[in-house]
Chain A
């Protein structure tokens, strides 16, 4: 059985927090470099500024965006791993504390949703655990800004609503979000499962690299259809100032569901679609 010391987990999480906030994801970068050639006027100017910003962030080793988010952490823990030296959950929180301190990242978490006192170290993180075969620990860190999180929605559709209602709900969510989630956005969609799994799938869909496709051609085609429709018809554009670059990707994750249900969730990510992963 492989042993992993908690201090390694803490260090890895800290490093991932900083890297995710400072270094733009390569797929976002590539998408924008292409899009800037296709836009004109203000939209082009905005994309140029976004690209420039990504360079400045790396040069000066500072976050792309001041909102360095609430830290979402996905752990895929191999069943043959033995975590030693302490508590796994505590080690992750400690890694967030360390990363946000050492990386000069903004502390944007309040301890209670109503009383709202800042915890001053960006903890607690939101941690999702999954036990998988093997002896690796995969850690994914996604600092999530709430400009875009706030525009996300979930609806418990019913089977009779069918695919048209799923499509309309996704499009309506993007339309309602408008300029607020800092477009160009990434649209993560969960369809099926239960109430909470549906929301989680939408978040996980945001972690998929651009160009990845749902394994079932039916859903893969829908990803393309929605992506094209959003960009062709909505004229939201970069920073919401108009243009054809509204969404950089639409990813749909699906799961089995109940005979009475058709849950659909849409999680929106801004152009600072931050996620970094490592395997220990």
Chain B
């Protein structure tokens, strides 16, 4: 087994600063799902000066949309979607305080810059291990945008969700092959 760290939400600024690119972490606590359509709406609301659907400060956003929940289960399969599609929205949300993100795949320079500037972190989950990840989810609560179906914002209580530090607060990128 590779080395790993266990983290509990909320993360202090010191914890975020101490995270180093490539570290395997297990995250416990509440996280909020939001993907393409929810990001579009949050961006529109932000532009209109409206209040965000959940408190950003110290919270974690998970770019994910689960499959439907079977009777008797907590949630369906769930895992990270490709982060790059949220790159155009992320800097404004990071500036607003939503500076801990979980998704998969690489980020663009604007997101890297924001993460460094605001002391954030981007974790990558493993894409496509969604049945296994569903076992980390202990409860689910709808927060907003119910009409978006799988793309609604949900609050998940997770236990030991496996992720890797993909972009640390110094701007190191786990996917950078020149590293």
Partner-B contacts on A (CB < 8 A): 41-42, 44-46, 49-50, 52-53, 56-57, 60-68, 104-108, 116, 118, 120, 145, 147, 150, 178-180, 182, 234-235, 238-241, 270-272
How many angstroms from the CA of A52 to the CA of B68 in the assembled complex? Answer: 21
* Residue of B77, B84, B130 ringed by the most chain A CB atoms within 10 A: B77
Apart from the given pairs A45-B1, A179-B175, 9 other A-B contacts in the complex at a CB distance below 8 Å: A42-B2, A56-B135, A64-B130, A66-B130, A105-B68, A120-B149, A180-B82, A182-B104, A239-B124
Q: Are B175 and A178 in contact (CB under 8 A)?
A: yes
Task: Report chain B residues within 8 Å CB of A62.
Answer: 67, 70, 73, 76-77, 131, 134
Q: Give 8 nearest A-B pairs by CB, closest first.
A: A182-B127, A180-B105, A53-B129, A57-B131, A53-B132, A106-B67, A66-B130, A66-B77
Cross-chain pairs A/B with CB under 8 angstroms, 24 sampled = A50-B128, A53-B129, A56-B132, A60-B131, A62-B73, A62-B131, A63-B77, A64-B129, A64-B130, A65-B127, A65-B128, A66-B65, A66-B79, A66-B130, A66-B150, A67-B81, A104-B70, A105-B67, A118-B151, A147-B105, A179-B124, A182-B104, A182-B127, A182-B128
Q: Which residue of the partner chain, among B130, B162, B175, contacts A65 with CB atoms under 8 Å?
A: B130
Task: Report chain A residues within 8 Å CB of B156.
Answer: none
* Nearest-neighbor residue (CB-CB) of A145 within chain B: B128
Interface residues of B, count at CB 8 A? 43
Q: Are B126 and A50 in contact (CB under 8 A)?
A: yes
How many angstroms from the CA of A53 to the CA of B68 in the assembled complex? Answer: 18
Q: Which residue of the partner chain, among A50, A104, A179, contacts B104 with CB atoms under 8 Å?
A: A179
B100 at the binding interface (Cβ < 8 Å): no
How many angstroms from the CA of A279 to the CA of B90 in the assembled complex? Answer: 47
Q: Which residue of the partner chain, among A56, A68, A116, A178, contacts B105 with CB atoms under 8 Å?
A: A178
* Residue of A49, A147, A235 ringed by the most chain B CB atoms within 10 A: A147
Q: Are B131 and A240 in contact (CB under 8 A)?
A: no
Question: Distance in Å from the Cβ of B118 to the closest Cβ of chain A?
Answer: 23
Given A45-B1, A182-B127, is A65 in contact with B22 using a C-beta cutoff of 8 Å? no
